């Protein structure tokens, strides 16, 4: 539950969503990310840290480079959770379908 | 269920859409008449809504209380902001767990869609944190629904 809270907070920032969109295309380094976003490297690093601690991305060490990529588990967790919420709401609306099927348009005589 | 969509929009919104095979008038009434609301706005299987106060007029109060019949439950309070009969409802609501959650302003529209209705519910939370909390809280109850269903299968 805590990790979902962190994940949704991490997703609340438009730059971080754009970073995730970029990472969806493949692994990349902070230097490569900083350029299109016109942000300084420290600024990008801060966003990357938030995404990393939220479990949405992972980084590996490759010599002096530390490329980052999407963490499938974190992304799947958010997807699954939105799916659970959808199911709960959908159950309400399936019941509403049945209620509507029993209703008739209100007639004048019903009104005072 | 492909008829319903739920997605986040920007930093503070959640948007839900659903189509119904009934006129906007009937769908609107099912959202504002307590006797009807108590039949469907129930969440997990086995839950009921013994208290349903719904004063469908600007400034009117909303209070829904749910129980699982085993001592568990929670309630929602709210106020109506605007009502356009059979077309639009704007209200504010918060959950009490028992501490109140941040206010959620909800605009619900009912549009004629062929012989049925397209309902669009647009929720606006004060900030991204509040939306995160709202979504995470909804999950607990959604999860509960799944567990209850699971119990019936075992």
Q: What percent of chain A has pLDDT over 70?
A: 88
Convert the pLDDT of each residue in B21-39 to its tens digit.
Answer: 999 999 999 999 999 999 9
The CA distance from B24 to B32, in Å, is: 12
The alpha carbon of residue B131 is apart from the nearest alpha carbon of chain A, in Å, by 8
Return the H-helix or E-strand segment holding B97.
none
Nearest CA in chain A to B119: A93
Quote the pTM value: 0.70
> For chain A, what is the radius of gyration of the CA atoms?
22
Query: In the predicted model, is pLDDT for residue B150 greater than 50?
Result: no
Query: In the predicted model, is pLDDT for residue A97 greater than 80?
Result: yes
Closest in A1, A88, A100 to B136, CB measured: A1
The CA distance from B46 to B71, in Å, is: 13
Convert the pLDDT of each residue in B118-148 to its tens digit.
Answer: 999 999 999 887 887 777 666 555 444 444 4
The CA distance from B122 to B10, in Å, is: 12
Query: Which among A30, A37, A36 has a CA at the least distance from the CA of A51?
Result: A30
- Can you give the pLDDT at residue A53? 92
Q: What confidence category does residue B2 fall into, taking pLDDT thresholds of 50, 70 and 90? A: very low
Q: Which long-range contacts (CB under 8 A, 24 or more apart) does A40-45 make?
A: A44/A19
Question: B28: exposed, middle or buried (C-beta count within 10 Å: 0-12, 13-18, 19+)?
Answer: buried
Convert the pLDDT of each residue in A10-62 to its tens digit.
Answer: 877 778 888 887 887 788 988 888 887 888 889 999 999 999 998 999 999 98
pLDDT, mean of residues A88-112: 79
**Whether B139 and A86 lie within 8 Å, measured CB to CB:** no
pLDDT, mean of residues A66-77: 85
Query: Which among B140, B8, B126, B143 has a CA at the least distance from the CA of A11?
Result: B8
On average, the pLDDT of chain B sits at 85
Closest in B23, B41, B132 to A92, CB measured: B41
**Cβ B95 vs Cβ B137: under 8 Å:** yes
Q: Is the ipTM beyond the 0.95 threshold?
A: no
Q: Which of A25-34, A70-79, A91-100, B54-63 has the lowest mean pLDDT?
A: A70-79
A12 touches B at CB < 8 Å? yes
Size (chain A), residues: 112
**Whether B139 and A81 lie within 8 Å, measured CB to CB:** yes
**Cβ B93 vs Cβ B74: under 8 Å:** no
Convert the pLDDT of each residue in B50-102 to its tens digit.
Answer: 999 999 999 999 999 998 888 888 899 999 999 999 999 999 999 887 778 88
- Can you give the pLDDT at residue B1? 37
Interface test with A, best of B20, B131, B142 (most A CBs within 10 A): B142
Query: Which among B58, B41, B96 has a CA at the least distance from the CA of B74?
Result: B96
Closest in B22, B138, B142 to A100, CB measured: B22
A94 touches B at CB < 8 Å? yes
The CA distance from B30 to A74, in Å, is: 38
Inter-chain contacts counted by CB atoms under 8 A, chains A and B: 107
- Can you give the pLDDT at residue A47? 93
**Whether B6 and A89 lie within 8 Å, measured CB to CB:** yes
Query: Which among A22, A84, A17 has a CA at the least distance from the CA of B143?
Result: A84
Size (chain B), residues: 154
pLDDT, mean of residues A68-97: 82
**Whether B30 and A5 lie within 8 Å, measured CB to CB:** no
């Amino acid at each position: 539950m805590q990790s979902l809270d962190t994940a949704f907070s991490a997703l609340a920032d438009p730059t971080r969503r754009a970073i995730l969109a970029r990472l969806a295309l493949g692994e990349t380094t902070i230097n490569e990310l900083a350029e299109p976003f016109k942000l300084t490297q420290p600024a990008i690093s801060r966003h990357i840290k938030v995404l990393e601690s939220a479990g949405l991305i992972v980084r590996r060490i490759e010599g002096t480079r530390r490329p980052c990529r999407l963490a499938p588990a974190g992304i799947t967790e958010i997807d699954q959770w939105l799916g659970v919420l959808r199911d709960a709401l959908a159950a309400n609306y399936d019941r509403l379908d049945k209620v509507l099927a029993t209703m008739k348009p209100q007639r004048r005589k019903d009104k005072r | 269920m492909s008829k319903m969509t739920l997605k986040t929009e920007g930093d503070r919104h959640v948007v839900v859409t659903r189509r119904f095979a009934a006129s906007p008038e009937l769908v609107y009434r099912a959202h504002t008449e307590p006797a009807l609301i108590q039949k469907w706005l129930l969440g997990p299987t086995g839950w009921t809504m013994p208290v349903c106060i719904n004063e469908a007029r600007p400034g009117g109060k909303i209070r829904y209380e749910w129980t699982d019949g085993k001592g568990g439950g929670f309630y929602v309070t709210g106020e109506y902001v605007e009502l356009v009969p059979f077309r639009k409802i704007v209200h504010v609501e918060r959950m009490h767990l028992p501490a109140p959650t941040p206010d959620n302003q909800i605009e619900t529209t009912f549009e004629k869609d062929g012989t049925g209705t397209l309902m669009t519910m647009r929720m606006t939370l004060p900030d991204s944190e509040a939306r995160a909390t709202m979504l995470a809280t909804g999950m607990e109850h959604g999860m509960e629904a799944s567990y209850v269903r699971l119990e019936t299968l075992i």
